Structures are given as C-alpha cells and as structure tokens.
Amino acid sequence: MQTDLRGRDLIGDLDFSKEEVETVLDVAFKLKRDRALGIPHPLLRDKVLAMLFFFTSTRTRSSFEAGMAQLGGHAAFVDHTTTQISHGDTAKEIGQIFGRYYDGIAIRQCDWGVGNRYIRQVAQASRVPVLNMQCDVYHPFQILADLMTIIEKKGDPRGLTINVSWAYASSYQKPISVPQSLILQMTRFGMHVRLTHPPEYRLMPEILDQAQENARRAGGSFEILDDFDAGFRDADIVYPKSWGALLTTDDPEESARIGQKYTDWIADRRRMALAKPDAIYMHCLPADRNIEVADEVIDGPQSVVYDEAENRLHVQKAVMALTMR
C-alpha cells in the first residue's frame, strides 16, 4: 500500500502508480462499507472543493458534491459561463486564485485539443490538488469506478477479457477519453484488453503504444479489432460505447455521417450471447437507448451500470480523502 498521496494531482490515468491505484481501491471499498453501515467518515471536515464545469454533467457533479458532503466538507459548483473566463481569466489565474480559496480543484473540460492542456495549466499554477473530472484525453475517475466494479463482480481482474468497443449513437460526437482511459488502466492489471472499432474511430497513437507496453509488463494482452461481433466473443466484460471520429475529422457533421455507416453496431441480446454466459455489460452512461444499446441489455441481468455509477462516488471520495487531507 502506498499512502503518501497528500497534495497529488490526478489528471491522467498513469499519474498514480498501479500500487497507488490499489490504495485508492482499498480506501474506496472501506468507505463504501462504512456508508452501508452508517459509520460517519468526516475525513475532510471544513475542506472545500471547487468544481469547474465546461460541460454539463449528471453523475460527475452529483457524485463529487455528495462525496464531499459525506467527507464532512463542501463542494462549490462553478459553471464556467458564470465566471470571467470568457473575459480574460487564464488557466494560470484560475489555478492561482482557486488554489488560494479552495482546498482542491476539480475540472471538467472536454474540448478536443484543449481540455487536458487547460487542466494541466491550472495544476501548474495551483497550490492544491487538481482532479480531472473528464477531459479530451482521459476520464480517470470513471475508470477507477469501472475497475472497482469489475473486482466486485468478477474478482481478481488478471486474465479476464474485456472488450472495449465503439458503438453507434446519434446524440453527439462523444469524447474519446473513456475508451482511452479504459485501455490504459485495464492493461495495467493483467487483463486481456480488446479495442474494437471501425477504422475511422481510432484512438491516439501514444495511448495505444502505452496500452501495449502496459499489457507486456503486466502479463496480459492488448489487441485491436474491427469486427463488432468478434469483440464480444467469449469476453468476460463488454463495454460498448460511442465516441467521435475525432482523429479522422474535426467536423461534427462529417463525424455523424461516418457513424451512419455503422448503425448496426448496437449491443443487443444476440451480441451478448456471443460473450461468456456470466459476462457483465458496462457503460459509463448516459447511453443512447435502442441505438447504442438495447433496453433488453442495459436493463437485463448482465448489466451492472447502476453499481458502476454508484462506485464513482466511492472512488472519488477515496481520492479526495487521500489527496486533500
């Protein structure tokens, strides 16, 4: 166990070592048990977290706010449109000023080519921990919750096969941060990781290279497929979700047109039958129902999406308690 995380940022998935991630999970499981037993844990009494949002949110805002309250502190929601950011407040100024007002800064900024750079610029100027609530490159807290859920449902993740797959959605061209963070973190834990997507929906080359290296070191594997059905076959965990063709085009309308070629990439009963009988279905939510995933799957017995969403609360509390104390 590595316990010296005070003052640390969590921006990219690899900012914490594997041992440090295991510490986070250990604390998260304890906090989850304590909450189930009604045991108070005001570990951050009188601490305040600034939550700066450039993108809307359901689970992220709610879980961070509830988590800070349960830890005895307070979360201040800041919509970027209510600030002077558009009138000249730079990332440096946000880091400097928020770092003096608050005990931690959490940011969600998913603009392609902007988000991760902005969060790191804030962190460079801040005297308090900076936490990435999702950017254009990474979504570390979602994947910590995913890993916690896999351990709850399947035990030791080593040797398990997870299919991280693109799926069609019509709502908007979603960030690539979830699949990128999934392949980075799961390969560190000795899993057999499949990345399945049409050719236009590739991920960042440096992320793919790191996932391959992680798999080599951990004794798992990493492969890329372009056959939707093949990705499901004999998998222990299936994680089909949509993302935009951001490395192919920066035009949202063109990306949407490309997606129209793959409207049959939907997680349905037939596809789930290709996976192992005890396979679990995961999704970070929200999902485009009956477009990205059939109701019979997301509402079915193999779906763990609500346990997965709950675990956002517990892993975030663990990281905040370890870094902001």
Q: What is the CATH number of the domain that holds 259?
A: 3.40.50.1370
pLDDT at 193: 98
Question: Does 233 reside within a domain?
Answer: yes
Q: Are 79 and 54 in contact (CB under 8 A)?
A: no
Residues 109 and 24 in one domain: yes
Q: Provide the percentage of residues in the chain whose pLDDT is more than 90.
A: 95
Verify that 125 and 22 share a domain, yes or no.
yes
Q: Which among 324, 325, 323, 315 has a CA at the least distance from the CA of 5?
A: 323
The helix (H) or strand (E) run that includes residue 164 is strand 161-166
Phi, psi of 55 (to 5 degrees): -130, 150
What would the mean pLDDT of 227-240 be, rounded to a whole number?
98
Does 316 lie in the same domain as 295? no
State the amino acid at position 126 in one-letter form.
Answer: S
Residue type at 47 in one-letter notation: K
- Burial (Cβ within 10 Å: 0-12, 13-18, ≥19) of residue 163: buried
Residue 184 has pLDDT above 80, yes or no: yes
Q: Which two tokens stand for residue 308?
A: 């997965």
Q: Which helix (H) or strand (E) holds 320?
A: helix 305-324
163 and 129 share one domain: no
Model pTM above 0.75: yes
Q: Is residue 92 part of a domain?
A: yes
> Do 111 and 30 belong to one domain?
yes
Strand ranges, E, within the chain = 48-53, 74-79, 104-109, 130-135, 161-166, 192-196, 221-225, 237-241, 280-281
127 and 93, same structural domain?
Answer: yes
Distance from C-alpha of 163 to C-alpha of 194, rounded to nearest angstrom: 5
Q: According to the model, what pLDDT value does residue 170 have? A: 87
Rounded to whole angstroms, the Cα distance separating 238 from 300 reads 14
Query: Please, which residues have CB within 8 angstroms of residue 46's CB and are 6 or more apart in sequence?
Result: 72, 73
On whether both 279 and 167 belong to a single domain, the answer is yes
In a domain, 194, yes or no: yes
73 with 189, same domain: the answer is: no
**Burial track 126-149 (b if 16+ CB lie within 10 A, e otherwise):** bebbbbbbbbbbbbbbbbbbbbbb
Which residue range forms the structural domain that includes residue 37? 13-139+311-324
The span from the CA of 16 to the CA of 2, in Å, is 10
Residue 159 has pLDDT above 90, yes or no: yes
- What is the pLDDT confidence band of residue 209, given thresholds at 50, 70 and 90? very high
Residue 74 and residue 175 in one domain: no
Residue of 48, 44, 64 lying closest to 101 (CA atoms):
48
DSSP structural state of residue 263: T
Q: For the segment 255-268, what is each residue's pLDDT rounded down to a tens digit?
A: 889 999 999 999 99
Per-residue pLDDT at 183: 98
Q: Are 203 and 251 part of one and the same domain? A: yes
Number of structural domains (the chain) is 2
Reported as a pLDDT band with limits 50, 70 and 90, residue 149 is very high
Are residues 135 and 166 both part of a single domain? no
Q: Is residue 287 located within the same domain as residue 195?
A: yes
Per-residue pLDDT reduced to its tens digit, 58-109: 999 999 999 999 999 999 999 999 999 999 999 999 999 999 999 999 999 9
